[in-house]
């Protein structure tokens, strides 16, 4: 197994993309702590990992809260004895609105979860990752972190910021054997993108089907959205020894979204 004996934290690991990443890392031998704000989903993911013969821990965590993050990291190391991999996946969609119609509190809450949360998790995971001299940090950003995204400015800004955080951490941590990379997915099927499509459709007076086709399917080379497992496979690669020479990079998995 590619990750035998290693320990990972996957934030936002209870459902959607985070769940797929947690299951993929566990299938390759990693013990996986899943964190998020919903106990039911976390427990379900952890149970699925254990039922398949793996090891897992569910920790209810608000990544925007530093005490919560400290508790999550401590619980993981206490349970499994070490930490090798951090996947910063937790995030929220934020509002679908023009800048003039976006409330300041919605801007701040989006950046608090999507960007500050990644910073806090890295900050408190790094001392443990460095002890292994082959630590991995994988930040889940977005194609929105590389382009302008009308009516989604808080989300886009948070994802641009995550790319900057990735590059800065890679420079800081390379001497300690820790690699830091980001994955920039395109549109991944699931609850979040479905909600975004509905909100954009409502704001523009169009049908959800038209919005999905015009904004999220037609601009891609493959003419489709992505499945979460396609992102999980790249996360596994970046977590493995095969990617030990890659750091500071942002890997696009976008179905060929036209930038």
pLDDT digits (tens, 9 = 90+) for 67-99: 999 999 999 999 999 999 999 999 999 999 999
Residues 213 and 145 in one domain: no
φ, ψ for residue 54, nearest 5 deg: -95, -175
pLDDT in tens, 114-124: 999 999 999 99
Please indicate whether residue 149 is annotated as part of the active site. no
Strand partners, 57: 33
- Strand 7-11 to strand 31-36: parallel, antiparallel, or no bridges (unpaired)? parallel
Residues 197 and 176 in one domain: no
Please say whether the beta carbons of 71 and 19 come within 8 A.
Answer: no
Asked whether residue 110 is assigned to any structural domain, the reply reads yes
pLDDT tier for residue 203 given thresholds of 50, 70 and 90: confident
Only one residue has tokens 């999980």, namely 232
Overall domain count for the chain: 2
Asked whether residue 207 is assigned to any structural domain, the reply reads yes
Residues 115 and 152 in one domain: yes
Residues 201 and 247 in one domain: no
Judge whether residue 37 has pLDDT over 90: yes
Residue ranges making up the domain that contains 179:
7-187+227-253
Asked whether residue 218 is assigned to any structural domain, the reply reads yes
Residues 18 and 100 in one domain: yes
Asked whether residue 2 is assigned to any structural domain, the reply reads no
Once rounded to an integer, what is the mean pLDDT over residues 180-197?
Answer: 92
Return the pLDDT at 259: 63
pLDDT tier for residue 193 given thresholds of 50, 70 and 90: confident
pLDDT tier for residue 133 given thresholds of 50, 70 and 90: confident
Asked whether residue 1 is assigned to any structural domain, the reply reads no
Asked whether residue 259 is assigned to any structural domain, the reply reads no
Residues 214 and 232 in one domain: no
Once rounded to an integer, what is the mean pLDDT over residues 4-13?
Answer: 98
pTM (two decimals): 0.95
Residues contacting 139, CB < 8 A, separation 6+? 88, 118, 162, 165, 166, 180, 181, 182, 183
Asked whether residue 258 is assigned to any structural domain, the reply reads no
- Provide the mean pLDDT of the chain: 96
Asked whether residue 45 is assigned to any structural domain, the reply reads yes
Return the pLDDT at 13: 98
Residues 109 and 219 in one domain: no
Residues contacting 132, CB < 8 A, separation 6+? 82, 83, 84, 177
Judge whether residue 191 has pLDDT over 90: no
Among 107, 149, 155, 215, which one carries the catalytic annotation? 155
Which CATH number characterizes residue 59's domain?
Answer: 3.40.50.720
Residues 25 and 59 in one domain: yes
Return the pLDDT at 258: 83
Residues 109 and 172 in one domain: yes
pLDDT in tens, 100-119: 999 999 999 999 999 999 99
Residues 213 and 239 in one domain: no
Residues 147 and 51 in one domain: yes
Residues 92 and 210 in one domain: no
């Amino acid at each position: 197994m590619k990750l035998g004996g290693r320990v990972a934290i996957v934030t936002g690991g209870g459902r959607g993309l985070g769940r797929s990443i947690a299951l993929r890392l566990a299938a390759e031998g990693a013990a996986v702590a899943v964190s998020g704000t919903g106990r039911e989903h976390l427990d379900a993911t952890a149970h699925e990992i254990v039922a398949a013969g793996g090891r897992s821990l569910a920790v209810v965590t608000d990544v925007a809260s530093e005490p919560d993050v400290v508790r999550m990291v401590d619980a993981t190391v206490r349970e499994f004895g070490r930490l090798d991999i951090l996947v910063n996946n937790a995030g929220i969609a934020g509002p679908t609105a023009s800048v003039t119609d976006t409330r300041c509190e919605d801007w701040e809450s989006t950046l608090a979860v999507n960007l500050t949360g990644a910073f806090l998790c890295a900050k408190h995971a790094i001392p443990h990752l460095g002890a292994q001299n082959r630590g991995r940090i994988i930040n889940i950003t977005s194609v929105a972190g590389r382009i302008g995204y009308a009516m989604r400015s808080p989300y886009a800004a948070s994802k641009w910021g995550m790319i900057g955080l990735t590059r800065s951490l890679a420079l800081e941590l390379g001497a300690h054997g820790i690699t830091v990379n980001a994955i920039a997915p395109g549109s991944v099927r699931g609850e979040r993108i479905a909600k975004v499509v509905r909100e954009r459709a409502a704001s523009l007076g169009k049908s959800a089907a038209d919005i999905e086709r015009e904004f999220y399917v037609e601009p891609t080379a493959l003419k489709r959205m992505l499945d979460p497992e396609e992102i999980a496979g790249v996360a596994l690669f970046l977590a493995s020894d095969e990617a030990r020479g890659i750091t500071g990079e942002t890997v696009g998995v976008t179905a060929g979204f036209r930038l």
